[in-house]
Structure 1
Amino acid sequence: MKAARWTLGIVGDLLVTAGLLLLLFVGWQLWWTDVTANRTQDATVSTLTRDFAETPAPTGPTSEQPKAVPFGKAFAIVRIPRLGADYARPLLQGTSRDVLEDGIGHYDGTAGPGAIGNFAVAGHRTTYGRPFHDIDKLRTGDVVVVETKTAYSVYAVKRHEIVAPTDVQVIAPVPDKPGAKPTERWMTMTACHPKYSAAQRYVVFAELVKTYPRADGLPAGTLAVPKGA
């Protein structure tokens, strides 16, 4: 009996320890990764803002071509007024796990900001700064601004869709129409769905309204927070 009680005691202690370690891991995943990622992403936005200001701005319309951007490099800033007046996240080339820990990722092979085709991006909905945590709050007509060293590309949200992770047609040159020749300028934002799960993908489609050269700046009120946000 004494040996059995001793064994049960050891097992109980091990289970308690395992439970505490699991709680610490969950806390690290859901909280600490946000803290460290937000610091990194804020620093990247600050660096991009400074670099953009120091780069001579062209006066004609232009777009950033992704093929010229090295994998993992930050090349743009994404601003979404619906998600807050201070919402600004770095956009990096690629969508690998390491890249998405540092900001929003641009799908290789898709169009660049402001270009004809489908400018497709991905972001975490939980952990690592969760840039697309509230992607489901975007409404039709909401503005998404993509700022590069050459231009501001302003998109307006058109529709939402929930798909399986294997439904890659959402990032086709013409969203949801594989093989079709693109004539319009789309932006597709993807994130895991539901929150705290990767069972599906939440997708938001936005269409380009206009591209403004950096020399011209953005029209007043473009980044104003929508009423009710």
Structure 2
Amino acid sequence: MRARVGQRVPVVVQTGGRSRTSARALWLGAETAVTCGVLILLLVVHQLWWTNREARAEALDQVRVLEREWDISPTPESVSGEEPVSDSVSEAGSEPASPSGSAPAPGAAAASPAPSPSAAFAVLRIPRLGLSVPVAEGVSKRSVLDKGYAGHYPGTAGPGAVGNFALAGHRNTHGEPFRYINRLRDGDEISVRTRARTYLYRVDLVLASTSPRDVGVIRAVPRSLVKPSYGYSAPGAYLTLTTCTPEFTSTYRLIVWAKLVSTAPGRG
């Protein structure tokens, strides 16, 4: 049958292939989004759970190793039964008394050889937080802080010494030993045990937030350069704890200061 002159012949366009291509692209996009979401979730789980579990186990094991070693091999002083060099600090800024009653020379309590970099040499305990954690030399993330340890700022005083025994620790992930130091209050006790002695400090001041570049907080006589109303003006035997704040950020630093109140040989 012939088509009439001038009559249009309908043209059929095949659209099935394009529809299938679009559907396939949407499916691949959805799969990619789900895969990315799963990977992000696994990363979060690794950072917030696995690194904490792993670091806490390693830190606790190191505490046991240190204390077992100290108990098996006490210092010559402990074996001979000699009295410790100090016994109390009754007032802010005062120094431990020597057996003769005179104040020791600055740094006398830290006469032992300096620890090797990244080596654990003390155990920090904060009863209020139920915390027991090794203290290692240095503040390297990889070799100290990420292992769940507290890190000793190089160049600051040793435990019990006149000056500032300054420590850093993670607030989140990798054991997060300093996560709750914001809960510490005036009068809370903190102990630091070494092979030779146990040093007891008492919390005195808390600086809720300061700049990461506020180096005044770890000086021998600690005082904030950003907030000068926080800190001290006289020499003493201080302990400083530093960590990041707010939680899950590194924008600012939270500072806790404590003063030495007593020392004793052996276990604390």
1:209, CA displacement in angstroms? Answer: 0.6
Report if aligned partners of 1:101, 1:128 keep a CA contact under 8 Å in 2. Answer: yes
Corresponding position of 1:192: 244
> Structure 2 CA distance, aligned partners of 1:75 and 1:52?
10
Change (3 A) 1:10 1:52: same
Structure with higher Rg: it is: 2
* Structure 1 ranges of 4+ moved more than 3 A: 62-67
Indicate the residue corresponding to 2:98 in structure 1.
none
1:73 aligns with 119
* Equivalence map 1:213-228=2 (5 Å): 213-214=265-266, 218=268
CA shift at 1:133, angstroms? Answer: 1.0
- State the 1:105 CA deviation: 0.5
Map of 1:82 onto structure 2:
128
- Structure 2 CA distance, aligned partners of 1:210 and 1:114? 9
Structure 1 stretches lacking a partner, 5+ long: 219-229
Offset at residue 4 of structure 1 (A): 2.1
AA partner of residue 69 (structure 1): P
Indicate the SS of the match to 1:97. Answer: coil
Structure 1 residue 8: Cα displacement: 2.0
Q: In the TM superposition, what is the alpha-carbon distance from 1:6 to its structure 2 partner?
A: 1.5
RMSD of aligned Cα (Å)? 1.9
Q: For residues 37-186 of structure 1, what are the structure 2 equivalents within 5 Å?
A: 37-57=55-75, 58=77, 59=82, 60-61=84-85, 63-64=109-110, 68-84=114-130, 87-98=131-142, 99-102=144-147, 103-161=149-207, 162-176=209-223, 183-186=235-238
Cα displacement string for residues 28-61 of structure 1 (whole angstroms, at most 9, x for unaligned residues): 0000011111110111000001111123332332
1:9 match? 27
1:17 shift after superposition: 0.4
Offset at residue 67 of structure 1 (A)? 5.9
Residues 110 and 157, structure 2, Cα contact 8 Å, conserved in 1:
no
Structure 1: distance between partners of 2:61 and 2:112: 22
User: How many angstroms apart in 1 are the aligned matches of 2:165 and 2:174?
Assistant: 23
How has the CA–CA distance of structure 1 residues 97 and 17 changed in structure 2, closer, same or farther, with 3 Å as cutoff? same
| SS of alignment partner, residue 188 of structure 1 | strand
Contact 1:116/1:182 (8 A) holds in 2: no
Cα distance in 1 for partners of 2:262, 2:31 equals 62
Partners of 1:66 and 1:93 within 8 A in 2 = no
| Contact 2:118/2:138, CA 8 A, preserved across alignment | yes
